[in-house]
Amino acid sequence: MLAQELPAPAYVLASALWRPALQRVVDGLGGYQVLAGFSRADRIDVVKQGVPARLLVTLADDMDVPRERLYGWLGLARATANRKVKADEALSQDDSERALGLARLIGQVETVVAESGNPDGFDAPRWTAHWLQQPNGALGGRMPGEYLDTADGRSLVASLVAQMQSGAYA
């Protein structure tokens, strides 16, 4: 049997499913919750291909924060981010990972609320933006938004959201 006749591995077939879900979020048409469910392989594919820079506009609009604040949280160069948005280009791998990480955090908040009660009327992006700007005792009084520019920081912030759901920390 020739190599091109071999069936694609399941992870390759599944990874093609992330494209329309991400595009719906970028276009402001879908919830972020789907992004929180991306597999590790899907996240790697997204980051390697580059997230559309328009996701930054969607995030800022949905969170109701100025783009400059969003760029600060993510450690993005304002001029570069604005140029890529204007040219409708993809973000670099590093910037894609940061933007996708924040979008996934919003999706995690949506998931927590959906699993904990009635999500009707809850605005996860705006709640997340507000929460990111509040001093947090678990972070020694620092704001969670200060941690979004590194992978370990995003992981730490995501763990705080998970702890809120479990009641271990609120």
Q: pLDDT tens-digit profile of 71-105?
A: 999 999 999 999 999 999 999 999 999 999 999 99
Q: Count how many residues are written for the chain.
A: 170
Residue 135 burial class via C-beta count within 10 angstroms: exposed 0-12, middle 13-18, buried 19 and up: exposed
What's the Cα-to-Cα distance from 170 to each of 18, 96, 160, rounded to whole Å?
A: 32, 29, 8
Residues 109, 112: Cα–Cα separation, whole Å: 5
The torsion angles phi and psi of 104, rounded to 5 degrees, stand at: -65, -35
Which segments of the chain are extended strands (E)? Answer: none
pLDDT category at 46 given cuts 50, 70, 90 is very high
Give the pLDDT of residue 166.
Answer: 72
Place of tokens 């997340």: 128
Whether this prediction's pTM lies above 0.95 is answered by: no
Q: Does position 48 have pLDDT exceeding 70, yes or no?
A: yes
Token code pair at residue 27: 């276009």
- Whole-number Cα distances in Å, 118 to 5, 102, 115, 122: 48, 23, 8, 8
